[in-house]
Structure 1
Amino acid sequence: MDIAALTLAVVALAVALGARRGTGRRMATGAEALPEDVHGLRQEVAALRAEATDALRHLAVVRYDAFGDMGGHLSWSLALLDDGGDGVVLTSIHGRSEARTYAKSIAGWTCDQQLSPEELEAIEHARP
């Protein structure tokens, strides 16, 4: 009786292996084992990362008193930069009777125009 059960088990195993070979499926390892949609997702993530390098995603704000006789830190400098240090620094200087706003282009973490200490500080705080 045990021989009959053992024979039946061997036959079942042979049938299962034959069916698996018949489908043409092989055990793959590494990147070959991943489904096609995973490869597509990896390509999409790489494309999104490439696009994000141009995004103005590094920012910092420095608030300060531009004039000694005024308080409240109403003046500010805002740095908006991408991964390469390209972008803009916006500065607003508030006085008693007026406010002035300036924009300066930044390329490679530097500027062709002279920067105030607060603008330089904003750029340094925005740098990753």
Structure 2
Amino acid sequence: ETAEYVKEKYSTIEKRVKALIQKVAIVRYRAFDDVGSDLSYSIAFLDNDNSGVILTSIFGRNESTTYAKPIDKGISRYDLSDEEKQVLENCINNVNEN
């Protein structure tokens, strides 16, 4: 009975751990020619199944915009910018350039 209880608890914990954020990657870039430095960025947070979210912040001279795109098993139902594609690939492969 105790062994069965332990197996059940282990299974529950294993499922929860797989759903936790396990991979993070960031790509910083200059979104506009008239704004200095790499102030814009895209950051991906993925779980074991490559599901999660990409957060992107575009920094401009007069305004900043931040938005999120959900990722399901490595795929977004939204179009991704080149930088978002790069950060997703980096995150899936556990590569962090910046």
TM-score, length basis structure 1: 0.63
Aligned to 1:55: 20
Q: 2:61 aligns with which of 96, 102, 109?
A: 96
Aligned to 1:111: 76
For these two proteins, the number of residue pairs brought into alignment is 93
Are the aligned partners of 2:29 and 2:38 in contact in 1 as well (CA < 8 Å)?
yes
Tell me which protein shows more strand as a share of its residues: 2
Larger RCO, structure (CA 8 Å, separation 6 or more): 2
* RMSD of Structure 2 on Structure 1 (CA): 2.1
The one-letter code matched in structure 1 to 2:54 is: V
Between the aligned partners of 1:45 and 1:67, the Cα distance in structure 2 is 50
How many Å apart are 1:58 and its aligned residue?
1.0
Aligned to 2:85: 120
Q: 1:77 aligns with which of 38, 42, 49?
A: 42
Between the aligned partners of 1:107 and 1:38, the Cα distance in structure 2 is 35
Tell me, which stretches of 5 or more residues in structure 2 are unaligned?
94-98
How many Å apart are 1:57 and its aligned residue?
1.8
Aligned to 2:96: none
Between the aligned partners of 1:74 and 1:41, the Cα distance in structure 2 is 49
How many Å apart are 1:69 and its aligned residue?
2.2
Between the aligned partners of 2:26 and 2:89, the Cα distance in structure 1 is 11
How many Å apart are 1:48 and its aligned residue?
3.0
Q: Identical aligned pairs, as a percentage?
A: 36
Q: Report SS of the residue matched to 1:126.
A: helix
Tell me which protein shows more helix as a share of its residues: 1
Query: Highest Rg: 1 or 2?
Result: 1
Aligned to 1:22: none
Are the aligned partners of 2:34 and 2:61 in contact in 1 as well (CA < 8 Å)?
no
- Over 2 Å off, 4+ runs: 37-50
